[in-house]
Chain A
Amino acid sequence: MEIFEALGGGIATVLTLQNLFLLAAGVTVGMIVGVMPGLGPSAGLAILLPLTFGLDPSGAIVMLAAVYYGSMYGGTITSVLINTPGESATVASTFDGYPLARQGRAGPALVMAAIASFVAGTVGAVLISFFAPMTASVAKTFGPPELFLVVVAGLLTLIVIIGRNKLLGVLSALLGFALATVGIDVGVGQQRYTFGSTELINGIDFVPVAIGLFGVGEILYTLWRGGHKESIAYAKVTVRDRAFWPTRQDYRDSRGAITRGSLLGFFVGTAPGAGATVASLMSYNMEKSVSKTPEKFGKGAMAGLAGPEAANNGASAGAMVPLLTLGIPGSGATAVLLAGFLMWGLQPGPLLMEQNPDFAWGLIASMYLGNVMLLLINIFMIPSFASIARVPFRLLAPIIIVLCVMGTFTVNGSIIEVGIMLACGVLGFFMRRYGMSPAALVIALVLGPLAEETLRQTMVISGGDMTIFLQRSTSVWLLVLMALLLLIPLLGPWIRRIVDAQVRDLGRARRYRERQERKNTVTGPDADVAAGEDRREGHGSAEHEKDPAGHAGPGGTA
């Protein structure tokens, strides 16, 4: 219980009136920053970090944690409402979040996302308190081979999201991988497809591509469909309606997804470099695999939003583990935080938690309180955000396009990136028009360079020997996990059929035995009753037989 004392102490230090004000202000500012397409948590932190130069570390960290959660949730808002992820960790939230908003369920979607984030943040804070040292020792075994496997596990999501037309889906992913090759080749330092431009030497950033493909592409597509002329049915739903809040069924659907997402997110988040993006994609993948109704995914399944949302928040808690216990940043946002440590005169490293326990626990407590504040503020804010979905498209479309241009420009102040964004907008339109998958492209673009980098590092380390993946115990475990992830949806129906068959055979054997016994002992009307029961049981098992067949269909497509 010593741990809880530490966490409680942290919360107590943070809970001053001034800090509460900073928390509320930070969450609000973060949400506004995050709602700008293109500006996610790392950008939000980077913009505000200079303001904390020379500030007292505790106050600064409270503010930054609040901004972090606010902007993360801001990204979710845009993902759900206008199909534009603010950063790579919320790409998975567009898959089912946006369809939900289109069905007029933006309110429930946003509330569920906030609840999922809150639960995951809480689980994360508790897990940090208990497992930080243990998970740190696992995180320490993550070299390039392990990171490569984690990234590949994230890429497995491509299988799930590619959709019905496999060929077009694969083509979309390949386009993403192709775009990912632009920039400096990390292996030898040569430039690839930069045409001498200094703007391209760091590669094509995810932000303009995602904003173009999702945000602008969606608008062009809606225009083409004639969406500006449609009167929107769901515009009639008002804030006071019960339809604005999740139904009991939504909670039931999301419960499992949130729990799984929180745990998965936390542990994936502890792997340095993989983080929230891979976690949210893996969670989506997993939810679709375990779901009884996988056909609903991509069409507005609540679990498909709640899982990834919990996972990306769980991952941001998980990323604190290597940061605090090893002094190694696990994500873009924690790298900015690490820079902040240096700025505030703290020495990051394995001893940080030991030497500055007040600060470390204050940080964990701030992260947690940021979550609480987010939930509180959201209860008031969601109705107004969700009503954006009620603005007629002909008014909303130009505003979104302007916001997309501004957001893209603000990130790096690069006009070339604005050009890339607009070009991707047109590309996104044609991809949607012809049934390609913009999401597959974006996932390939984000994870492609990581996969390439880590695989090449691995190959240099092993001298080109592929067996390196079997020689390291952590990577063997990861391989086993990946095999399970792949096999469960494939083998699931088969295993269920075998189990059902076993149960049926046992039942039959038992009934046969009973009948034999009865024949020997019972006579008269009792036998008829027994036979009747038999018929009923037989009927039951026939129904049972149909069940696995029903599951085989969707399982086979996964």
Chain B
Amino acid sequence: MRNRIIAGIGAVTLTITLAACGGDGGGGEAGEYPSDELDWTIAFGPGGGNDIMARTMVDIINQYELYPEDIRLENREGGSGATGWGYLLNQRGSGYGISTTSGSFITTPLQADTGWTYEDFTPVGLFATDDALFVVPGSSDIKTWEDWVEFASGEESVVVGGIGTINVDFIIHELLAEAAGYEIEYVPFNEEGQLQTALLSGSLDGMVSNTGSILGQIEAKEVTPLLFTGAEALPALPDVPTGVDKGIENLPAMPRGMILPPDAPQEAQDWWIKTMKEVVETPEWQEYIESNYLTEKILWGDEFYESLGTTVNDFTEILTEAGAL
């Protein structure tokens, strides 16, 4: 009996070890690209925006048989992306490591000593941006952006919420308040769920959220959307004005792009740019963009980094002014 139990525990342990240790290896340089297994890092946990994008991409790549070897997909979450991208950083010079980006790709290096910035990695391209909606409780009398500005200007300050402090949400609130001329008290939350209940419970005057997360509340008329931060109106909510409509330009958004390790071979970068150009043309990718309410925005290679550079400078400026950095 005893032996059997020990054997059982041993077997379980072994299985889990094998699963856990599957992370290294890869990176043979010789021959034509690609000729080796691909090590795909998702810097966040399963089910998040970044995870869904990466898994969709891999599905499409496999479906169209674009990558000849195996693709190993792994969630390496932790430290707001620092763990996963740090792992990619250590694959310097390899063409067989890959990862996708999100808002934290810009903000995490701003708040922690990650040992890297976006410039260290080799860019493939930007495919889409994840924009936000500004919403107020459905029970309030505020129905349009003008109502909101009038209400907010009349108050000494309004209480608004979002996720995190050194994050896109805070910057959007700062920019909106500055452009429309009202004062805010920003309440940071760690979780979307608590943020939404805070708004519904009447604790907040307004909040920003990703379209995918808040659309259910909008459809149920629990919240009223007043403004969309994307450049063009959302097909799902054509009546909600954009920042540009109201004269507020250059609102930041989460960049959904793709990167390779630092100093990746030129041929690997070229190969991925060529391949991703095919991927973004597929109906499956279009379906993904639509069902996740993203805004398609395609920039390849260095152009992707130029746009990131502008965003980083804006962020640094705003956060320094607000005293967060």
Contacts and interface: CB of A to CB of B under 8 A. Distances in A.
B197 A461 contact: no
B164 interface: yes
A147 B201 CA distance: 11
Contacts of B45: 46, 336, 339
A395 B6 contact: yes
Nearest to B112: A201
A349 B193 CA distance: 11
Contacts of A414: 78, 83
A310 interface: no
Interface string B157-191: 00100001110000000000000000001111111
Nearest to A189: B165
Interface stretch (B32-40, B142-150, B212-220): B212-220
A298 interface: no
A329 B213 CA distance: 11
B112 A349 contact: no
Contacts of B216: 327, 347-352
A384 B13 contact: no
A377 B203 CA distance: 46
B120 to A, nearest CB: 14
A201 B82 contact: yes
Interface string A186-229: 11111100101111011000000000000000000000000000
Contacts of A142: 197, 201
Given A140-B197, A461-B185, A349 B215 contact: yes
Interface size class, chain A: 35 or more
Interface in B1-27: 1-2, 5-6, 9, 12-13, 16-17, 19-20, 23
B201 A146 contact: yes
A412 B77 contact: yes
Contacts of A181: none
Contacts of B79: 198-199, 201-202
B16 A272 contact: no
Interface in A103-159: 139-147
A328 B197 contact: yes
B217 A349 contact: yes
Nearest to B4: A384
B47 A322 contact: no
Interface stretch (A47-55, A363-371, A479-487, A497-505): A47-55
Nearest to A329: B193
Interface string B290-325: 010000000000000000000000000000000110
Contacts of A410: 16, 19-20
A143 B324 contact: no
A387 B8 CA distance: 13
A470 interface: no
Contacts of A322: 193, 197
A461 B55 contact: no
Residue among B55, B108, B111, B193 with max Cβ neighbours from chain A (10 Å): B193
Contact of A326 (B6, B190, B200, B323): B200
Contacts of B159: 460-461
Residue among A322, A352, A413 with max Cβ neighbours from chain B (10 Å): A413
Contacts of B279: none
B154 interface: no
B166 A273 contact: no
A234 to B, nearest CB: 15
Interface stretch (A65-73, A278-286, A398-406): A398-406
Contacts of A198: 79, 82-83, 86, 108, 112-115
B111 A189 contact: yes
A32 interface: yes
A457 interface: yes
A233 interface: no
A342 interface: yes
A488 interface: no
A351 B203 contact: no
A403 B186 CA distance: 44
A463 B219 contact: no
A463 B204 CA distance: 12
B186 to A, nearest CB: 8
A263 interface: no
Contact of A140 (B1, B23, B201): B201
B80 A326 contact: no
Contacts of B80: 201-202
A391 interface: yes
B197 A399 contact: no
Interface string B209-233: 0001001110110100000000000
Given A144-B203, A273-B193, A191 B185 contact: no
Given A340-B47, A342-B47, A410-B20, A350 B82 contact: no
Contacts of A413: 20, 23, 76, 78, 83
A463 B220 contact: no
Contacts of B55: 50, 53, 343
A201 B196 CA distance: 24
A50 B193 contact: no
Interface string B55-79: 1000100000000000001011111
A345 interface: yes
Contacts of A251: none
A190 B112 CA distance: 9
Contacts of A50: 46, 51, 55, 73, 75
B196 to A, nearest CB: 5
A268 B193 CA distance: 16
Interface string B98-124: 000000000010011111000000000
Contacts of A345: 291
Contacts of B324: 188-190
Nearest to A330: B193
Residue among B192, B197, B202 with max Cβ neighbours from chain A (10 Å): B197
A144 B16 contact: no
Contacts of B51: 50, 339
Nearest to B47: A339
A333 to B, nearest CB: 12
Nearest to A271: B197
A339 B212 CA distance: 11
Contacts of A143: 197-198, 201-204
A36 B196 contact: no
A396 to B, nearest CB: 9
Interface of A: 32, 35-36, 46, 49-50, 53-54, 139-147, 184, 186-191, 194, 196-199, 201-202, 272-273, 322, 326-330, 335-336, 338-340, 342-343, 345, 347-352, 384, 387-388, 390-391, 395, 399, 402-403, 406, 409-410, 412-414, 453, 457-458, 460-461, 463, 472, 474
Given A188-B323, A327-B196, A387-B5, 17 more contacts: A186-B164, A188-B165, A198-B83, A199-B82, A201-B79, A272-B194, A328-B192, A336-B45, A347-B219, A351-B216, A387-B1, A402-B13, A406-B13, A406-B16, A410-B16, A457-B198, A461-B187
Q: Which 8 A-B pairs have the closest CB atoms?
A: A349-B216, A339-B47, A189-B165, A143-B203, A143-B201, A350-B220, A198-B82, A196-B113
24 contacts: A46-B47, A53-B55, A54-B59, A143-B204, A188-B324, A191-B112, A201-B80, A201-B82, A202-B79, A272-B194, A272-B197, A327-B196, A335-B193, A343-B47, A343-B52, A349-B219, A350-B220, A351-B220, A352-B216, A391-B6, A413-B83, A414-B78, A453-B189, A457-B203
